[in-house]
Amino acid sequence: MRVAVLKEDNCQPKKCNDECHAFCPPVRNGQECIILDDKTGKPHISESLCIGCGICVNKCPHDALIIEQLPSELETDMIHRYSMNGFRLFRLPTPSKESVVGILGPNGMGKSTAINALSGRIIPNLGDWMDKDADWDGVIESLPRGELRDFFVAVKAEKIRVALKPQNVDRLPKRVQGTVRDLLTKVDERNMFQEMTEKLGIDHLLERTIQQLSGGELQRMAICATLLRDVDVYFFDEPSSYLDIHERMRIVGIIQELSETKRVIVIEHDLAVLDVLCDLVHIVYGKKGAFGIFTPARSTRQAINTYLDGFLPEQNVRIRDKPIKFLNHSDRVAELGSQVVSWGGLGKKLGDFTLSTGEGAVHRSEVVGVVGPNGTGKSTMIKVLAGEHDYDEGWVTSSASISYKPQH
């Protein structure tokens, strides 16, 4: 099975000489393997006529084409396809009862498409992108008997309600206005407002506006808003981002408690959180922006080890050129080079918060970690050292310019 994908945003017909069409061997032999659209000038690639030579991929000056060879058995597992040469998704994760189901894999592999299908927001077209009349009966008939098929029967009957904790919580201040209390009371369908805000440690933030929250506070507020919904399936997209280890373990406990009565799916990149949180894990792999393939669920430990190894033995597929290995950190001396920046007795007051530090220094060729709970002044200290903030007391000496990457 051959997959040909056009990156619509990359393709710029007005800034090229149609190299994909001009150099295509089948086109040169009189076959209509690549046809240029009369209106847009963009190519339409026939996957059945494509010989997989890769010449069009290499000749395209804008890196707009992807040609991949996939196992033929996947042809019957296609769930959704957006266009002739658009992204396609193979297989789906299964929301299991009384379990936390994890999804492990890179971004751009179709996790959002899978969530939209499972929530009923889109009806999967099973690869027939021209079928504008796709219905749930065809989807259900295409699936083998089992939990996923039963789930879609309930979706068809509109008996499934879902709640999604979005991935990019840093965008919430631009989309949502008002205080934390306003937002949470509006979505509270379980009458658990007080209990959940206390559990998540945000009860002291209720009168703050969304724009005043830090990254970790936005994350906990978004998780709280999701938990307050009374639905059948809960999706949590990267729930550990911005959170320190204490808060991550608190979230793990809350989500596991929720899974005792509800279906829960978690998308997470932190392997440690995934390991302790999930009962089952689906690996998703493929080509970013081209196709995504979900593997059957497996135990969490087996899924993580398989993902790190980069090889799926059941499918005989290598999903990565080489395995990910964790190297033992060698001992390093305290001072590896000349001193870059030093400080002592720093004091900085921001509203009700006051930062106080001892003495310290950073040297060339040295990596220094700063650990601690959110809200204790780590970012404030870094901003002072980088010159983003003035300090009220103490001293800082620096022999180099400093670049600062903000938290969000």
pLDDT digit string (tens) for 152-191? Answer: 999 999 999 999 999 889 999 999 999 999 999 999 999 9
pLDDT of 48 higher than 80: yes
Q: Determine the pLDDT at residue 375.
A: 76
Q: Decide: 5 and 291 in contact? Cβ < 8 Å.
A: yes
How far apart CA 314 and CA 317 sit, in angstroms, is 8
**pTM above 0.75?**
yes
The pairing of beta strand 100-104 with beta strand 280-287 = parallel
Q: Determine the pLDDT at residue 5.
A: 95
**Long-range CB contact pairs, 374-379, < 8 A, 24+:** 374/214, 374/215, 374/216, 374/217, 374/242, 374/243, 374/244, 374/247, 375/214, 375/216, 375/217, 377/348, 377/353, 379/406, 379/407
Q: Determine the pLDDT at residue 408.
A: 67
Q: Which fold has domain 75-161+231-318?
A: Rossmann fold (3.40.50)
When pLDDT is cut at 50, 70 and 90, the band that residue 217 belongs to is: very high
When pLDDT is cut at 50, 70 and 90, the band that residue 401 belongs to is: confident
Q: Determine the pLDDT at residue 273.
A: 96
Q: Determine the pLDDT at residue 334.
A: 57
Q: Which fold has domain 2-69?
A: Alpha-Beta Plaits (3.30.70)
**For residue 103, which amino acid is it?**
I
Q: Determine the pLDDT at residue 333.
A: 62
- Average confidence (pLDDT) over 196-223: 93
- Fold agreement between 2-69 and 75-161+231-318: no
For the chain, what percent of residues have pLDDT higher than 70? Answer: 98
- Average confidence (pLDDT) over 229-256: 94
Domain boundaries, the chain: 2-69, 75-161+231-318, 339-398
CA 251 to chain centre: 18
Q: Which residues contact 334 (CB under 8 A, 6 or more apart)?
A: none
